[in-house]
Amino acid sequence: MAKFYCKYCGGKFSSISSLTFSNCPRHPDGPSKGRHVLYEGSEKKEYLCKFCGSKSSSISSLTFSNCPRHPNGTNKGRHQPAL
């Protein structure tokens, strides 16, 4: 079964259309201010933040916390998984 993840919150979906259909609670513009966005990388055992290199076992736990090296400023956004 195909699995698709949102790169902002790690939400898991069975299709891209269902992923992009609903709002994302961790959208960078604010909670539910935009829709989930597809994570285009492959499924991994460990995800790295592309800004600071933080490691996490899932996208949802990685994107749970703010990133000290976020491009918008220190802790101005969440970690984002590298592809």
**DSSP assigned state of 78:** B
Q: Which amino acid is at 6?
A: C
Site string for Zn ion, 51-80 (x = CB under 5 A): xx-x------------x-----------x-
Tell me if residue 41 falls in helix, strand or coil: coil
CB of 40 to Zn ion, least distance (A): 14
Q: Which of 4, 5, 8, 39 binds Zn ion (CB under 5 A)?
A: 8
CB of 69 to Zn ion, least distance (A): 6
Phi, psi of 10 (to 5 degrees): 80, 5
Residue closer to Zn ion by CB (options 2, 80) is 80
Tell me if residue 4 falls in helix, strand or coil: strand
Start-to-end CA span in the chain (Å): 21
Residues in the site for Zn ion, rule: CB under 5 A? 6, 8-9, 11, 24, 36, 49, 51-52, 54, 67, 79
